[in-house]
């Protein structure tokens, strides 16, 4: 008898079937990956296993745990099931934790509610479990509130909370999607470590994650199982076209062409930018960005990469004039550019445009699509008549792939990908020379992300647009960037051509970022190598090199002296040891 047997499961809401005819088993101690893009029914399946679906859901088929039927079970039976057999870890750890209770007391509550331990023993068990999931200094952390922990630490706490009941099956629903790549690798390593204790059902859209973690895979597409089998077999010889396509288009860091460098004068240049924020109530000045320089040329894409909190958004926002620049110089086409938006002429404002991460938040919910795109046009081309403007707007929307039926829609009525197209149309309608994309595809699904990226590439080819592309994930950047700037804690780490950075990184942090990305190939790569530790806080920056506390190659000197940016083997690197280290991924 299998631990979990799902047989011919269907989930319907009214007339809409979100899952149909799904069969899946998980054996004792096994690790199974459930793959699909958003809307494919993965999460619904997970919730069905736990009996957590809303009352409106109509279930068919059978879900058995150790032979016991879940569908139609009473609330008491389900509670016992959730207490003893199955636990779940959700995507967003902040939402899954109670913000008003200390971590320790939340976990303690789990033990006491399930009668697993008595008050006296509970505290000790909680601390043990927190240590088990790799929380540093569990005694202190147990007294922290959820918001005081980083995303990675919160996810560890959630895993600890799930493991307290010693479940036989742990369901992890996109457990690393909201985390940085380096932290993602840490969490995957933790899940791997737990394999002796529990079976794992890992739900994700990311093939790289399952390739290194799971023994078997099941692939969902629009609520139907299209493929299942051992991981190696599925990757080596996918039976379904769907899976074959997913494998073919999965972003890979370890292969694929990088774009050659672009020559020419910089269109937009930022020199020694510093951005500082005042702590609340007139406290200290905190440096979010410390002396970073970059430039971007016509027809070039410069990627700026770093973990969350690395200051990449602060940097470009200050460069665009949306936040004050503490010091530094800006230049547009060789002419000095004032830091404040107010001092910039309308014609230069036209030239620098921005696309945001959250496409829906960046569109005014009270304006229809055509009006959103028309606003910058009417401002910058006042000589155009209404009819001409309408034509230009329609042509622009058409260019980003939105036909006439979208003109009257409101942002809430668009999907994320459509909204991002509108945001791009709004940015491009003034024919800017520089476009900044601030994590513009991070919130989008795999397929939509690829469409937006290829659209961006096409437009760049046609118009010679200079693009600054901000991302936290190197895998997204490969294939679209000509050069890459890596930043860490608001400091320059490495600036190199894409080919150099991906094959011969010169800085240990660049290499760690590359290593952390899981490779969607169970033979060649698998799960990424975690970079231990957490990015330091700008509240308390390390003296010397900012990366020193997490660096494998750190010397005594690194803790004392901050490195200067210098030229090493074709890259601009800030590392004392760059000359002596060879961090290449492939033999030259």
Partner 1 sequence: MNPAGKTSRRLPDWLTAQRSVRVSAAILGAITLAAILGPVLSPHDYLTTDFDELTRPPSLGDGHVFGTDDLGRDLFVRTMLGIRVTLMVAVVASLVSLVIGVSYGAVAGYVGGRTDAIMMRLVDALYAMPFIFFVILLMALFDRSLFLIFVAIGAVKWLDMARIVRGQTLSIKNREFVQAARLTGVPTTRVILRHIAPNLLGVVVVYVTLTIPQAILVESFLSFLGLGIQEPQTSLGTLVDAGVPHAESAVWLLLIPATLLAVILLCFNFLGDGLKDALDARRRR
Binding residues for partner 1 (CB under 8 A): 320-322, 341, 346, 349-350, 352-354, 356, 358, 361-368, 370-371, 374-376, 378-380, 386, 389-390, 393, 407-408, 410, 412, 423, 426-427, 430
Cα–Cα distance between 563 and 146 in angstroms, integer? Answer: 35
Cα–Cα distance between 318 and 311 in angstroms, integer? Answer: 11
Identity of the residue, 269 or 435, whose beta carbon is nearer to partner 1 in the bound complex: 435
Cα–Cα distance between 461 and 28 in angstroms, integer? Answer: 53
Min CB(364)–partner 1 separation in Å: 4
Identity of the residue, 376 or 528, whose beta carbon is nearer to partner 1 in the bound complex: 376
Min CB(329)–partner 1 separation in Å: 20
Min CB(569)–partner 1 separation in Å: 38
| CB contact at 8 A, 114 and 83 | yes
> Which residues contact residue 513 at a Cβ distance below 8 angstroms, ignoring those fewer than 6 apart?
181, 182, 305, 474, 486, 531
Tokens read off for 484? 């890459």
**Sheet containing 16-26, strands listed edge to edge, beginning at the edge strand earlier in sequence:** 16-26, 4-13, 57-65, 68-69
Min CB(386)–partner 1 separation in Å: 7
Tokens read off for 254? 């370890």
Identity of the residue, 213 or 430, whose beta carbon is nearer to partner 1 in the bound complex: 430
Identity of the residue, 159 or 436, whose beta carbon is nearer to partner 1 in the bound complex: 436
Identity of the residue, 322 or 523, whose beta carbon is nearer to partner 1 in the bound complex: 322
Cα–Cα distance between 327 and 287 in angstroms, integer? Answer: 11
Tell me the CA end-to-end span of the chain in Å, nearest whole number: 53
| CB contact at 8 A, 491 and 574 | yes
Cα–Cα distance between 281 and 9 in angstroms, integer? Answer: 56
Cα–Cα distance between 558 and 564 in angstroms, integer? Answer: 11
Q: Beta 216-221 vs 224-230: how paired, if at all?
A: antiparallel
Min CB(465)–partner 1 separation in Å: 16
Cα–Cα distance between 95 and 110 in angstroms, integer? Answer: 17
Identity of the residue, 23 or 348, whose beta carbon is nearer to partner 1 in the bound complex: 348
Identity of the residue, 324 or 365, whose beta carbon is nearer to partner 1 in the bound complex: 365
Identity of the residue, 56 or 119, whose beta carbon is nearer to partner 1 in the bound complex: 56
Min CB(349)–partner 1 separation in Å: 4
Identity of the residue, 293 or 348, whose beta carbon is nearer to partner 1 in the bound complex: 348
> Which residues contact residue 108 at a Cβ distance below 8 angstroms, ignoring those fewer than 6 apart?
122, 123, 126
CA distances to 16, 17, 58 from 13, in Å: 5, 6, 6
Identity of the residue, 346 or 556, whose beta carbon is nearer to partner 1 in the bound complex: 346
| CB contact at 8 A, 436 and 380 | no
Min CB(348)–partner 1 separation in Å: 9
Min CB(342)–partner 1 separation in Å: 10
> Which residues contact residue 529 at a Cβ distance below 8 angstroms, ignoring those fewer than 6 apart?
185, 512, 515, 516
């Amino acid at each position: 008898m299998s631990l979990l047997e799902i047989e011919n499961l269907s989930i319907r809401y009214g007339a809409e079937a979100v899952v149909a005819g799904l069969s899946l088993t998980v054996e004792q101690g096994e690790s199974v990956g459930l793959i699909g893009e958003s809307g494919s029914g993965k999460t619904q399946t997970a919730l069905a296993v736990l009996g957590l679906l809303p009352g409106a859901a109509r279930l068919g088929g059978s879900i058995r745990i150790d032979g016991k039927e879940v569908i139609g079970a009473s609330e008491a039976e389900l509670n016992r099931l959730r207490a003893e057999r199955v636990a779940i870890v959700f995507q967003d750890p902040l939402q899954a934790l109670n913000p008003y209770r200390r971590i320790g007391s939340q976990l303690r509550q789990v033990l006491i509610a399930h009668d697993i331990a008595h008050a006296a023993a509970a505290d000790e068990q909680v601390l043990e479990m927190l240590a088990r999931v790799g929380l540093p200094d569990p005694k202190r952390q147990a007294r922290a509130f959820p918001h005081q922990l980083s995303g990675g630490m919160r996810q560890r706490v959630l895993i600890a909370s799930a493991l307290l009941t010693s479940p036989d099956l742990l369901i992890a629903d996109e457990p690393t999607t909201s985390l940085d790549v380096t932290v993602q690798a840490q969490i995957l390593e933790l899940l791997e470590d737990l394999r002796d204790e529990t079976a794992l059902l890992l739900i994700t859209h990311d093939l790289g994650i399952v390739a290194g973690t799971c023994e078997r895979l099941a692939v969902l597409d629009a609520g139907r199982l299209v493929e299942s089998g051992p991981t190696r077999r599925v990757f080596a010889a996918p039976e379904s076209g769907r899976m074959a396509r997913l494998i073919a288009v999965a972003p890979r860091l370890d292969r694929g062409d990088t774009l050659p460098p672009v020559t020419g004068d910089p269109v937009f240049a930022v020199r020694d930018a510093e951005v500082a924020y005042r702590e609340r109530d007139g406290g200290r000045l905190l440096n979010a960005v410390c002396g970073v320089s970059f430039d971007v040329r016509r027809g070039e894409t410069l990627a700026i990469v770093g973990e969350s909190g690395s200051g990449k958004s602060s940097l470009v926002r200050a460069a665009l004039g949306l936040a004050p620049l503490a010091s530094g110089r800006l230049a547009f086409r060789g002419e000095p550019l004032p830091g404040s938006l107010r001092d910039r002429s309308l014609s230069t404002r036209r030239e620098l445009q921005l696309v945001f991460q959250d496409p829906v938040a960046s569109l005014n919910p009270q304006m229809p699509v055509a009006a959103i795109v028309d606003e910058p046009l009417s401002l910058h081309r006042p000589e155009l008549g209404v009819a001409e403007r309408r034509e230009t707007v329609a042509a622009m929307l058409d260019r980003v792939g939105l036909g006439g039926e979208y003109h009257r829609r409101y942002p809430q009525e668009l999907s994320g990908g459509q909204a991002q197209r509108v945001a791009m149309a709004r940015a491009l309608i003034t024919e800017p020379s520089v476009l900044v994309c601030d994590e513009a595809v991070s919130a989008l699904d795999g397929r939509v992300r690829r469409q937006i990226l290829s659209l961006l590439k096409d437009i760049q080819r046609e118009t010679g647009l200079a693009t600054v592309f901000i991302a936290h994930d190197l895998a997204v950047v490969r294939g679209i960037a000509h050069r890459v700037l890596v930043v860490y804690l608001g400091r320059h780490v490495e600036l190199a051509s894409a080919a150099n950075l991906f094959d011969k990184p010169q800085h240990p942090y660049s290499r760690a970022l590359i290593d952390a990305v899981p490779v969607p190939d169970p033979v060649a790569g698998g799960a990424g190598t975690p970079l231990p530790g957490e990015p330091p806080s700008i509240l308390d920056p390390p003296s010397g090199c900012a990366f020193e506390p997490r660096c494998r190659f750190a010397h005594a000197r690194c803790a004392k002296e901050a490195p200067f940016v210098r030229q090493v083997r074709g890259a601009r690197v800030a590392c004392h040891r760059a000359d002596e280290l060879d961090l290449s991924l492939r033999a030259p």
